[in-house]
Structure 1
Amino acid sequence: MSASEVSSVRTQTQTLDLCLRIGEVLLASGAGAADVTATMQAVARSLGLRSVDVDITFTSMSMSYQPVADEPAIVQLRYVKHRTIDYDHLTRVDHLVRSVLRQDLDLREARSELGRITSSGHDRPRWAITIGWGLMCGGVGLQLGGDLAVVLIALIAAMTIDRLQLRMSRRRYPAFYQQIAGGGVATMIALAVAATPLALDPSVVVTANIVMLLAGIGFFGALQDALTGFYITAGARLTEAILATAGIIAGVSGGISLAYAFGVEVPQLDPGSGSLTGVGLTILGSAIAAGSFAYASYAPRRSLAPIALVAAVAMGITQSVSVPGIGRAWSVALAALFVGLVGYTVGGRLRVPPLVVVVSAVVPMLPGLSIYRGLTLLAEGGGSTSAGLLAMVTAGSVAMALSAGVILGEYVAQPVRREAARLESRLAGPRLVGPLRTRPDGSQRTRPRRSRRTRRTRRTRRSRRDRAPHAEHDA
């Protein structure tokens, strides 16, 4: 094998490795499998690799490239070991991808920049993230109609749960046991509050405390992957969401059993049954919850206020539409459609991926509480089975409405901004991460496409101009 062939194989291997590392960051941060696949293919095409194959199965990613038909293909595999929502790394990797597609960075520079992104920390201290989770749960307590005492208790409980889970994570405990511990702490705090003279509903306290543990985001991501054709990844995400929710149920029931064992009188607990009362408080609570979630997920500070505003408007749409008697799924779908429509524009203005805006804005509407309530009633059995099935169907319909509404909003928003007349040919799918469309050489189109008549006129003028010197020479 010659030196040029060795260099070419090395370059191809480094390109595949770069694409896989980019895909790992995107997938670990909650990006859909369709977005990750399209971004990896775009980067490979920009760096000179045509017709690469990408396969994603939630826990692993593989990428193959065959330069010549009669030669073996180059195949690389990478496992996604850690899954933490990190919108800071997601935003920086998104900017890196766009720089590569604009040909501002070559392969070596892109690999160096990606290494700096993944190895560097954050400018936000970890204790500030704990406060962010507390503010999120406090906002949910306000959204559920709780008073100031409920909000403060939810804030303190959420901060306690976050520090406990952080210590367990550093000791490499599986996520299922972390969920059990979080659910148990939430229940014990609620029971302790119920034993005080404070006239508080313990169900609202538990509900506000366990929101940070609920798996609504995983359920939402699973349906998004299913709608875009990645069924294996969707099934894996759905299994993860159900297992995480089962851990919360085990923790809550364990806390209640422990209270009974010590002879503590346990009031009636019904987590997930809190009603959204008071439109003004609901909108304010959802704005606080969405902005705090974005802050706790390391979203850039410039995006916090717009995300809170989008979430407030979306919750206002949900509340106003559901008043005349329209089902919750349809009201949530309309609100999600609004989020999908404005998420693309807001993300472009703020220079963040639309995924950051969309996921944070729909957090107050996620059906995690319905999932919890349905699984709890199903576990009780007997006469509660039908109510549990109804709650699970409600959760599924709400999650489907959120996913379908957001994706439809992206389908409509992206072509309208680029070229509404070429919706069918220009849009390959809903893109929440990465560039919308690139040229074959990897560069992005910055000017609108001219009409066919204009292009034909320009070609005619160019051909006449090219023939003019030959005519003078013949004369």
Structure 2
Amino acid sequence: MDLCLRIGEMLLSSGAGAADVTATMRAVADHLGLRQAEVDVTFTALSMSHQRSADDVPMLMMRHVQQRDIDYEDLTAVDHLVRDVLTDQADLYLARSRMATIVSLGHAFPRWAVTLAWAVMAAAVGVFLGGGAVVSAVAALAAVLIDRVQILMARRRLPFFYLQVAGGAIATILAAAVAATPIDVDPSLVVTANIILLLAGIGLMGAVQDALTGFYLTASARLIEAMMATAGIIAGVALGISVAEGIGLSLGELVPGKIGSYSDLPAVLIGAAVSSAAFSVACYAPRRAVVPIGLITAVAALVSQAVEVSGFGRAAAAGVAAFFIGLVAYAVAGRVRVPPLVVAVPAIVPFLPGLSIYRGLTFLADGGFFVSQGILALMTAISVAIALASGVILGEYVAQPLKREARKLEGRLAGPRLVGPFRALTRAERRALRRSSGE
């Protein structure tokens, strides 16, 4: 029970859906002989109970999720551990030892590399939004300042809301400072690029996934967390505008969420690919997965642009792109030996409706005539979020049976090899091949 709870805590804190966490914990418990254990997952706590017989007192254990920093390196290690347990390559004693090692070890990337990754992501988002080299450079500088300030604030255990306030204020003040110089820069694009950076780590997809799979309590909690984080950005931008005006800096007409004019399609695709790859590095994804994530995102961005140009709405374009990501992520994740979540979440970062949420809450805060526009923006954001999450999940559902059939076909068509077998079939695959051939 302790091993299952520690595995579930790591998965939940890394952004996995409550349904995936519950299924993983129950699979490990059943395989290790703990039959009919009850698992309960909420946003901040996990509990597991077991009753040996009707006459015994049930045993209950709980763990609280202490941190929510996305860590794909630890998530991948835990996923490999679960696979080894389920294939009898690790017993209970070895599994608990490996789990303790995963928690205690550091990361392959140094912390300064994560700061550099956030800077690259902000610069790529600037390109994705249609900004020039100056916008990208200023956005990258703001990302470095935001990351270092948030690290200092997190060490003092300030709530995440205040970290978002600081990030929005830094982006706005720096944009105002650069706009006051002779440098020709659009401060709205700078602020927008950093807003996407601040919104990238919010679990909108996890919230929608939990709602689709029936975990409404966890979905509501994650959605409230996303709203509070977005409200922190709004408060930070408002604070930054007040500070800039107080020291004599003028932003002009600031339009957070503004998108520039696209010069060409390759710039959009490169911006999307680099931003998702940089986000994966900032979340400590294994190095072998970074390039595939960027390539998948570029193709998904091309698919999204094609659907949107064909006359369909933004939600439809996001849904089709997400379906492609979910369909491909399952196969690519198996090739690079990472969970599909590590591939899917960074790939959908450029398509997240963070800007629509920001616009909607900003209009609602202004009140009056803008309330209707705010409601419309929020409805658009909700439809895009549902399209992204449902598209990825549907792609995963379709990809799993396709991969099984592809393995069967590969086994049937495999002929003589010059040296050794092409791939050693597992025991389950050999049984499936015998059943399919009628033996």
Superposed pair shares fold, TM > 0.5 = yes
Which residue in the other structure is 2:179 paired with? 194
Which residue in the other structure is 2:223 paired with? 238
Paired residue secondary structure (2:39): strand
Paired residue secondary structure (2:63): strand
1:153 to 133, 138, 142: 138
1:268 to 244, 249, 253: 253
Paired residue secondary structure (1:75): strand
Using the alignment, how far apart are the partners of 1:50 and 1:194 within structure 2?
64
1:395 to 358, 370, 381: 381
How far 1:276 moved relative to its partner? 6.5
Residues 1:314 and 2:300 are matched in the alignment = yes
How far 1:25 moved relative to its partner? 0.5
Using the alignment, how far apart are the partners of 1:454 and 1:285 within structure 2?
48
- Cα gap change, 1:453/1:135 in structure 2, threshold over 3 Å: closer, same or farther? closer
Do the aligned partners of 2:356 and 2:381 also contact (CA within 8 Å) in 1? yes
Paired residue secondary structure (1:407): helix
- Cα gap change, 1:312/1:70 in structure 2, threshold over 3 Å: closer, same or farther? same
Residues 1:129 and 2:150 are matched in the alignment = no
Residues 1:337 and 2:320 are matched in the alignment = no
Using the alignment, how far apart are the partners of 2:278 and 2:437 within structure 1?
51
Paired residue secondary structure (2:348): helix
How far 1:257 moved relative to its partner? 1.2
Do the aligned partners of 1:143 and 1:282 also contact (CA within 8 Å) in 2? yes
Which residue in the other structure is 1:299 paired with? 285
Do the aligned partners of 1:272 and 1:372 also contact (CA within 8 Å) in 2? yes
Which residue in the other structure is 2:242 paired with? 257
Paired residue secondary structure (2:46): strand
Do the aligned partners of 1:28 and 1:83 also contact (CA within 8 Å) in 2? yes
How far 1:217 moved relative to its partner? 3.8
Deviates more, 1:444-453 or 1:175-184: 444-453
- Match runs of 1:174-253 below 5 Å: 174-214=159-199, 217-253=202-238
Deviations 1:315-362 (A, max 9, x none): 010111111211111111111000000000000000000000000100
Which residue in the other structure is 1:355 paired with? 341
How far 1:51 moved relative to its partner? 1.1
Paired residue secondary structure (1:63): strand
How far 1:260 moved relative to its partner? 2.2
- Cα gap change, 1:325/1:454 in structure 2, threshold over 3 Å: closer, same or farther? closer
- Cα gap change, 1:104/1:44 in structure 2, threshold over 3 Å: closer, same or farther? same
Using the alignment, how far apart are the partners of 1:337 and 1:446 within structure 2?
27
Using the alignment, how far apart are the partners of 2:114 and 2:229 within structure 1?
21
The one-letter amino acid of 2:12's match is: L
- Cα gap change, 1:272/1:75 in structure 2, threshold over 3 Å: closer, same or farther? same
Deviates more, 1:213-222 or 1:366-375: 213-222
Which residue in the other structure is 1:325 paired with? 311
Residues 1:29 and 2:7 are matched in the alignment = no
Deviations 1:129-179 (A, max 9, x none): 000011011110000011111111111110110000011101111101111
Which residue in the other structure is 2:354 paired with? 368
Do the aligned partners of 2:325 and 2:347 also contact (CA within 8 Å) in 1? yes
Using the alignment, how far apart are the partners of 2:200 and 2:223 within structure 1?
9
Do the aligned partners of 1:183 and 1:250 also contact (CA within 8 Å) in 2? yes
Deviates more, 1:237-246 or 1:209-218: 209-218
How far 1:448 moved relative to its partner? 5.3
Using the alignment, how far apart are the partners of 1:371 and 1:223 within structure 2?
15
Which residue in the other structure is 2:80 paired with? 95
Deviations 1:203-241 (A, max 9, x none): 001011222211674222100110011100000000000
How far 1:199 moved relative to its partner? 1.9
The one-letter amino acid of 1:144's match is: L
- Match runs of 1:58-97 below 5 Å: 58-97=43-82
Which residue in the other structure is 2:149 paired with? 164
- Match runs of 1:401-440 below 5 Å: 401-418=387-404
Deviates more, 1:375-384 or 1:258-267: 258-267
Using the alignment, how far apart are the partners of 1:243 and 1:124 within structure 2?
30
2:33 to 25, 45, 48: 48
Paired residue secondary structure (2:296): helix
Number of residue pairs aligned between Structure 1 and Structure 2: 419
The one-letter amino acid of 2:386's match is: M
Deviations 1:54-101 (A, max 9, x none): 111110000111111221111101000100110000000000000011
Using the alignment, how far apart are the partners of 1:374 and 1:449 within structure 2?
52
Stretches of structure 1 lacking an aligned partner (at least 5 in a row): 1-15, 421-442, 459-475
Which residue in the other structure is 2:275 paired with? 289
Paired residue secondary structure (2:361): helix
Deviates more, 1:340-349 or 1:260-269: 260-269
Deviates more, 1:272-281 or 1:240-249: 272-281
Do the aligned partners of 1:102 and 1:444 also contact (CA within 8 Å) in 2? no
Which residue in the other structure is 1:468 paired with? none
Using the alignment, how far apart are the partners of 1:79 and 1:396 within structure 2?
29
Do the aligned partners of 1:223 and 1:403 also contact (CA within 8 Å) in 2? yes
Do the aligned partners of 2:177 and 2:249 also contact (CA within 8 Å) in 1? no
Paired residue secondary structure (2:137): helix
Which residue in the other structure is 1:38 paired with? 23
Using the alignment, how far apart are the partners of 1:265 and 1:242 within structure 2?
29
Which residue in the other structure is 1:109 paired with? 94
Paired residue secondary structure (1:273): coil
Using the alignment, how far apart are the partners of 2:234 and 2:364 within structure 1?
11
The one-letter amino acid of 1:359's match is: V
Paired residue secondary structure (2:203): helix
Using the alignment, how far apart are the partners of 2:19 and 2:175 within structure 1?
41
Which residue in the other structure is 1:7 paired with? none
Using the alignment, how far apart are the partners of 2:427 and 2:131 within structure 1?
49
The one-letter amino acid of 1:254's match is: L
How far 1:121 moved relative to its partner? 0.3
